[in-house]
């Protein structure tokens, strides 16, 4: 069988620290988790990632793996055959997922892993390390204003569990979720220990942020676009208008001679953050209805005295 380079699997250097290995593992397992990944071989990649972290995430197994690699100078793709007495004298069991594993449960270990740690712990008997439960994924819909101020929301999830008769049943679980200030659409909130149960503890729950649709707001990253209705004379004559934005009311100056569709930029009035987004106000003219004799008379006067043809020159 071929030698497997676990460092290459996680994309880290052989000198990587424990924290660097953990960060690389978490990033990859989220990317290829079968529940969210669109990769065709996401399940196999997740299994390889878990297996690699099961070794490199355990200081003792990593030391043994490094020692074997140095002593025999194995390279990825070369045939691997561990010495028959290799691994005796080391403590601890072997098993993919490792300490703090997030994505276990996607298949068994490879032949390479099995042969590598067949004698790990002495006595020739392999012991499987307890596995954490799988991570869960869901979404939560919030108002745009919640990302400006932060909020607390309650969500309901349907979870599976075993009853006293060892039958799988589902029940509703309510969770209180703190929405931090400055969250953006697509961002994931991690709720530690709220995932699927497991022998070594539950996995985590990842909530993807979604904004509730709004007729006047459109969000692009941290920038917000807002439609602002204005009267014809406010566009023609200009002046100050009061606008209710996601962060509160502001007074905005409309330049005289503006046209419908003009865009006004308010710096750093978008979604808060280390670099706050901008708020863009899109002016939209709204005509008064001609439902009274006085209104119709005013329109007739305008039509007669202004002699305005919006299609002229077209």
13 and 110 both lie in a single domain: yes
Evaluate whether 225 touches 265 at the Cβ level (below 8 Å).
no
**Which of 163, 191, 211 is at the close of a domain?**
211
Q: Residue 11, Cα to own-chain centre: how many angstroms? A: 21
Residue 281 included in any domain: yes
pLDDT score of 215? 92
Q: Give CA–CA dist 112/130, Å, rounded.
A: 20
Q: Is residue 121 part of a domain?
A: no
Helix (H) or strand (E) holding 265: strand 263-266
| pLDDT confidence of residue 230 | 96
| pLDDT beneath 70, residues of the chain | 1-3, 34-35, 67-129, 160, 162, 166, 168, 314
Structure tokens belonging to residue 36: 């969210």
Do 269 and 230 fall within a single domain? yes
**Paired tokens of 106:** 């996607």
Number of domains, the chain: 3
Which pLDDT belongs to residue 102?
A: 40
* Residue 126 domain flag: no
Is residue 168 domain-resident? yes
Q: How far is CA 168 from the centre of its chain?
A: 30
**Same domain assignment for residues 176 and 240:** no
CATH classification of the domain holding 194? 2.60.260.20
**Domain end among 86, 116, 146:** 116
Distance CA 239, CA 2 (A): 75
Cβ(243)–Cβ(252) under 8 Å? yes
- For residues 120 and 152, is the Cβ–Cβ distance under 8 A? no
Q: Is 183 helix (H, G, I), strand (E, B) or coil?
A: coil
**Residue 276 resides in a domain:** yes
Residues 195 and 280 both lie in one domain? no
Contact 157, 139 (CB under 8 A): no
For residues 97, 103, 107, 108, the Cα torsion angle rounded to the nearest 10 degrees is 0
Same domain, 188 and 140: yes
Strands 151-162 and 168-179: antiparallel
CB neighbours of 17 closer than 8 A, spacing ≥ 6?
A: none
In this structure, is residue 312 part of a structural domain?
A: no
Domain closes at, from 116, 146, 178? 116
Residue 190 lies in a domain: yes
Q: What is the pLDDT of residue 101?
A: 40
Helix axes 18-32, 42-56, angle to 10 degrees: 170
Are 180 and 225 within one domain? no
CATH assignment of the domain containing 111? 1.10.287.110
Q: Which domain holds residue 239?
A: 219-306
Q: In this structure, are 86 and 58 located in the same domain?
A: yes
């Amino acid at each position: 069988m071929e030698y497997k380079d676990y460092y290459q699997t996680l994309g880290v250097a052989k000198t990587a620290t424990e924290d660097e290995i953990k960060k690389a593992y978490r990033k990859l397992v989220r990317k290829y988790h079968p529940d969210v990944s669109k990769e065709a071989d996401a399940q196999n990649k997740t299994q390889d990632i878990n297996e690699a972290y099961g070794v490199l995430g355990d200081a003792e197994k990593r030391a043994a793996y490094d020692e074997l690699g140095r002593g025999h100078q194995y390279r990825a793709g070369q045939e691997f055959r561990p010495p028959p007495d290799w691994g005796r004298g080391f403590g601890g069991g072997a098993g993919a997922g490792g300490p703090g594993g997030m994505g276990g449960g996607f298949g068994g270990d490879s032949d390479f892993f099995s042969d590598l740690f067949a004698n790990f712990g002495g006595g020739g008997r392999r012991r499987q390390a307890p596995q954490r439960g799988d991570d869960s994924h869901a979404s939560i819909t919030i108002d745009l204003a919640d990302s400006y101020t932060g909020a607390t929301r309650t969500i309901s999830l349907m979870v599976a569990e075993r009853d006293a008769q060892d039958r799988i049943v589902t029940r509703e679980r309510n969770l209180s979720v703190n929405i931090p200030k400055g969250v953006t659409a697509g961002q994931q909130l991690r709720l530690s220990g709220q995932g699927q149960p497991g022998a070594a503890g539950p996995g985590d729950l990842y909530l993807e942020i979604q904004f509730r649709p709004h007729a006047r707001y459109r969000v692009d990253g941290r920038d917000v676009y807002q439609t602002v209705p204005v009267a014809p004379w406010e566009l023609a004559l200009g002046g100050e208008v009061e606008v209710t934005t996601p962060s509160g009311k502001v007074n905005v100056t409309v330049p005289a001679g503006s046209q419908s569709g003009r865009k006004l930029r308010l710096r750093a009035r978008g979604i808060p953050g280390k670099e706050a987004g901008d708020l863009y106000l899109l002016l939209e003219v709204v005509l008064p209805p001609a439902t009274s004799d006085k209104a119709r008379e005013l329109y007739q006067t305008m039509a007669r005295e202004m002699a305005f043809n919006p299609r002229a020159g077209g």
